[in-house]
Amino acid sequence: MTKRIFLLAALLLIFITPADSVLKEKDLARTLGVLKAELQANYEQQQAFMQSYEQQGMQQHQQLVWYMHQCEQIGLMLYSQSTDNTFDMAYACQQAANLKRDLDNRNSKMRQYDKIIARLKQEIERTDNLIRSLKRMPPVIDADSILSASDSVLLQAIDSLASKKDSLLVARNSMDEESVEILEEENNEIPEEEEDNLEPLFLTRAQQKDRNACLLFADTIRNNMQHFLENLEAENAYYQSVREKVHELDEFAQSRYKLLQDNIFRNGGANYFRILASLPMQIMMVKSTIDMKYKPFEGHGKLYSEWRGATVLFISIFLIFYLALSLGISYIVLRWLLPKKWRGPDFKTKRMMLNNIVGIALFAIIVMVLRATVQRNFIQMGTGLIINIAWLLEAIFLSLYVRLKGDQMRHAAIIYMPLMLLSFIVILFRIVLIPNALVNLIFPPILLAFSIWQYFVSKHHRQYLPMLDKFYTNITTAAMFFACIAAWIGYTLLAVQVMIWWTFQLAAIMTITFIYDLTKKYESRYLLKHLGANLTSTSERLDLLKRVKKGDFIDQTWFYDLFCKTLVPILAVASVLVSIYWAAEVFEMTSLCQKVFKKDLVNLTGLIRISLYRICMAAALFFIFRYINYAIRSFYLHYKKQYVGSNEAINKTLARNIIAIVCWGLYIIIVLVLFRVPKGGISIVSAGLATGLGFAMQSILENFFYGISLMSGRIHVG
């Protein structure tokens, strides 16, 4: 799409580039000849581009027609959805938001058309003036429509000159024969090439021929440009109509998003005890809702929908069957088919975790193959979600496999199994676009059962895990109980969101922990050995590690320090926003993420504005400035030891103070600007920074003046 736009724009720019530009030649005859040649070249170039333009223009028009059809289809889908089906409504709203975003991206490219249209109008006006100028040359062509009042006066002057010429001819005829003979002899001396110059007020036949050729080419070029202009204006008008419809859809979708947001986070629904009190009626309502949503159409001939009936049943059975099949194949391979030479000493204790890793990876690959071979909207949507959640679970299990020891892996797999299965169930709910009534009926008891399961497995197995994983386990249990309570008091959809969010957040945390653990292994196995190859005792290695942390080897460890001290913490900060975005993407609510991220948590007018996005930015900048302070200080001390000596303690202290004050003072100023603190507060911080620099310089200034006084005491008169 974008390539076609750029190609079409390039063709049009070449098409309207003025090639018919002449400079002042020797005389009018040569100017007309050069103009004819250039107009002919421009005409031939236009003819060569016309076919390419027609083809590209047709593709552009088909693309706009596709946008119009998508707009109409999404409009029907959006306006027909009920708020009782949250997943359906969210999907329709997201489709409208995606269409608007795609069209907005196209709009940035369509601005080139505005420039081309303006350029075409300028070129048409210029060509009209050129044609008019050619026609005005005497003898005039189409005088009634071309000549102005000033042109008429000019022609009258030309006619008067012609009449005077005729009177001169009559006078010449009345001359005596001797005078006539003398005049004829003078005329015979005029060269043949100058005979055409005897009548300078009119074009000669050769010049008229060139003028007519110029008019022919100029008229054709002008008509071609007018044709292209009309096509572009028609396409632009069609695009604007599509854009208006898409904006109407998006406005309605945003209002529906607001309603969904209120239903999820504010209004809620009936608590589960009221549902249990009217259980028979609730079951009957759920059965009716399921029939309306999933039952195939009857009595409508061959009418078929891929969002109900066999397709929904197929995707559900497919996911469950192939997940079990993948885990089964993985177990068979690891249990019996894997060669013994590939099995380590603790393979049996790691086999359970390894089975999960291989099985989920195989399942994700199978789903990716299905997604690539079946081109149906429902299959594409469902398999896309499954692939995302599968690779996230893969990241969790892989992190546990790398970080934990053999027996710890078994306990970790048992602890995290409730969360994994519950996440799979929630994703299955999302794939089949389960109605609200069914979610409200079955999800609270499911959450209660999984919460109890999570509590008992955590209680019996978390003591075998490292401290960090114990912390993750406690948060997982707390998140599950929070979701359970929310579901039982009527906020079922909020509970669904919380579980999916924590699954994504846990996957991100596990991945970052895995990266951090790898850096520590690199530090102990390679970095310390490289820096201290001759060290043998543990105390020496610990002392070397302290020196590395202080930055004594900054010339060799600067990139490692950058990765550990800056990039990994920034990834941890970014994981908060990314996990929220991924969770919103599962429920087709990514359009709300920007509003949520930038919504002011604290908004004191004229004082400060704090949002989630600004907090994350301030945290990321903290790690950046921390490394800048550490790197500058360490490089300074390293090169000072190398080139100056080690007895400059005062200067080292001064350097540390100045570097720290400048770095952290600049950080505070940037954060205050980020939080929209008024200029008065920033001025106070700047004054504090200057004062701090003054105190840092105090000792060196005192020594300077003290040295001057000593030197002054040694100077005597004479």
Per-residue pLDDT band for 600 (boundaries 50, 70, 90) equals confident
CA distance linking residue 676 with residue 688, whole number of Å: 19
- H-helix or E-strand containing 420? helix 406-431
Structural tokens at position 688: 């504090």
pLDDT tens column, 357-416:
999 999 999 999 988 888 888 888 888 888 988 988 898 899 999 888 888 888 998 999
Identify the residue whose tokens are 């079990």: 324
Q: Which of 451, 453, 454 is nearest to 487 (CA)?
A: 451
CA distance linking residue 569 with residue 513, whole number of Å: 10
For residue 499, the one-letter residue type is: M
CA distance linking residue 232 with residue 110, whole number of Å: 11
Strands 608-611 and 600-604: antiparallel
Whether the predicted pLDDT of 594 surpasses 80: no
Per-residue pLDDT band for 503 (boundaries 50, 70, 90) equals very high
Between residues 221 and 116, the one the model is more confident about: 221
Quote the pTM value. Answer: 0.72
**What is the reported pLDDT for 124?**
87
Q: Which of 237, 255, 236 is nearest to 97 (CA)?
A: 255
What angle separates helix 310-332 from helix 406-431, to the nearest 10 degrees?
Answer: 170
- Do residues 553 and 530 make contact, with C-beta atoms less than 8 angstroms apart? no
Whether the predicted pLDDT of 450 surpasses 60: yes
pLDDT tens column, 108-130:
555 566 777 888 888 888 888 88
End-to-end CA distance of the chain: give it in Å, rounded: 92
How many CB atoms within 10 Å of residue 63?
15
**What is the reported pLDDT for 521?**
87
Q: Which of 356, 352, 331, 511 is nearest to 424 (CA)?
A: 356
- Do residues 430 and 382 make contact, with C-beta atoms less than 8 angstroms apart? no
> Measuring CA to CA, how many Å separate 195 from each of 187, 199, 485?
10, 8, 108
Structural tokens at position 502: 């924590």
> Measuring CA to CA, how many Å separate 342 from each of 334, 338, 360, 372, 560?
10, 7, 21, 33, 32
Between residues 87 and 460, the one the model is more confident about: 460
How many CB atoms within 10 Å of residue 652?
16
CA 621 to chain CA mean position, Å:
22
